[in-house]
Amino acid sequence: MINRILGSASLLAATIFVFTATAQQEAPTPEQLAASATETRQAVFKLLSFNMGTISAMARGTAEFDAAIAERNANRIAELAPMIPELFAARDTREFTVETEALPIIWDRMDEFNEKATNLVAAANTFAVIARSGDKNATVAAVRAFGGACGNCHDTFREDN
Ligand code: HEC
């Protein structure tokens, strides 16, 4: 009796395992792909924000000024920003119900959108050079222009919040 119960339990476990494995191998639906693409691009923006946050804190005086960290974070932003056009070109999520602040006009005005990402790369590189000089006043003074490259895109292509 106990063997029969154990036998059915392991059969059930095996069935669940096979079922789960099959479910996982099924191709994702367009809805799932849209949700995943949205999460990925938001992750890039979170990383941009993480790196920019330290620089802004130095400018506000809430973090100690460190030229090397400012330069490093600017270089990271210059590396991350080219992923913005890549990710938005990879999947147009306009037709899907996703939790997003991305305005649909992004896909109508891709060139303009991409240009704003390119401007961010340029702003990050310019800022990195100034930070590399180690001049605190010059670096802090350059933060606003650098951050402007973020806001310049948000003003046109992101929902107001
Ligand atoms: C080329 C346009 C563009 C540039 C440049 C840009 N952003 Fe954004 N950002 C967006 C769009 C569009 C969204 C909305 C994404 C979504 O919800 O799908 C967004 C979303 C965000 C978010 C919210 C992410 C989340 O949790 O959902 C943060 C934070 C952010 N951006 C910070 C930054 C910072 C910091 C910079 C500059 C270093 C920057 N962005 C540069 C277009 C841009």
Contact present, 140 and 59 (Cβ < 8 Å):
yes
Spacing, Cα 48 to ligand 1 middle (Å)? 8
Instruction: Going residue by residue through the chain, which has 161 residues, state the pLDDT in tens, using 9 for 90 and above.
Output: 566 665 666 666 665 555 566 666 789 999 999 999 999 999 999 999 999 999 999 999 999 999 999 999 999 999 999 999 999 999 999 999 999 999 999 999 999 999 999 999 999 999 999 999 999 999 999 999 999 999 999 999 999 87
Q: How far is CA 11 from the centre of its chain?
A: 44
Supply the residue whose CA is at minimum distance from atom 6 of ligand 1.
150
Question: Could you give the CA distance from residue 12 to residue 16 in angstroms, rounded to a whole number?
Answer: 6
Ligand 1 centroid vs 104 CA: distance in angstroms? 14
C-alpha span between 153 and 147 (Å, rounded): 11
Looking at residue 25, what is its pLDDT?
A: 76
Distance CA 68, CA 75 (A): 11
**Which tokens sit at 12?**
């059930």
The answer as to CATH 2.60.34.30 being correct for domain 29-157 is no
Q: What is the pLDDT of residue 160?
A: 87
Sequence ranges of the domains in the chain: 29-157
Residue among 50, 154, 156, 160 whose CB has most ligand 1 atoms within 8 A, to mutate: 154
Residue nearest to atom 28 of ligand 1 (CA): 45
Name the token pair of 152.
Answer: 């310049």
Residue 26 is predicted with a pLDDT of: 87
Q: What is the pLDDT of residue 109?
A: 98
- pLDDT, position 2: 61
The answer to whether the pTM exceeds 0.75 is yes
Burial class, 42, CB count within 10 angstroms (exposed 0-12 / middle 13-18 / buried 19+): middle
Asked if residue 98 lies in contact with residue 38, where contact means CB atoms within 8 angstroms, the answer is yes
CA 26 to chain CA centroid, nearest Å: 27
Using only C-alpha atoms, the chain has a radius of gyration, in whole angstroms, of 23
